[in-house]
Amino acid sequence: MATWLYGVLPGNGIDRDAMRRTLQSAAASRTRGVQPAITWGYAMVAMCAARMNEPEMAVQLLVPAYETNPFRASGYTIRRPEQTPMYMPANGGWLAATAMMASGWDGNKEPAPGFPKNWKVQCEGLNPMP
């Protein structure tokens, strides 16, 4: 899954058509049924969806994943019950994705570009991603 190339990274020189196909494939594999664990991959795909002007997809990737695998009272997600009690890359990825979706990225002129246009999103003190 190379969605991080146009999610966390700004995607300099990528083939946007190829990335759109990659995004669609990655999103489809992540939204089929209940996932046994949350990983940083949801956030990577959500960031790519935001940059590809697919805010509804970005939200669909973040929200249901965390509804079925919620945060604990401590603020951490559970990777798998039989493994470590917390999985910080998932938490950091979720926070990075939502911050990027709210604050945008270099060159973007729209407010909260990673969220659907009918949402009212406010943020302050966040810098856009490169």
pLDDT digits (tens, 9 = 90+) for 32-44: 655 555 677 888 9
* CB proximity list for 130: less than 8 A, separation 6 or greater: 9, 10, 105, 106
For residue 73, how many C-alpha atoms fall within 13 Å in the half-sphere facing its CB?
A: 0
72 within a domain of the structure (yes/no): yes
pLDDT of residue 34: 54
111 within a domain of the structure (yes/no): no
How many domains does the structure of the chain reveal? Answer: 1
66 within a domain of the structure (yes/no): yes
39 within a domain of the structure (yes/no): yes
Which residue ranges of the chain lie beneath pLDDT 70?
1, 31-38, 64-75, 78-87
pLDDT of residue 67: 62
Tokens of 62: 């973040």
94 within a domain of the structure (yes/no): yes
122 within a domain of the structure (yes/no): no
**61 backbone φψ class: left, alpha, beta (φ>0; ψ -120 to 50):** alpha
pLDDT of residue 2: 84
93 within a domain of the structure (yes/no): yes
Instruction: Show the domain range for 72.
Output: 3-103
First to last CA, the chain: 21
DSSP string, 5-54: GGTTS--TT--HHHHHHHHHHHHHHHSSS--SS--THHHHHHHHHHHTT-
85 within a domain of the structure (yes/no): yes
pTM of the complete model beyond 0.85:
no
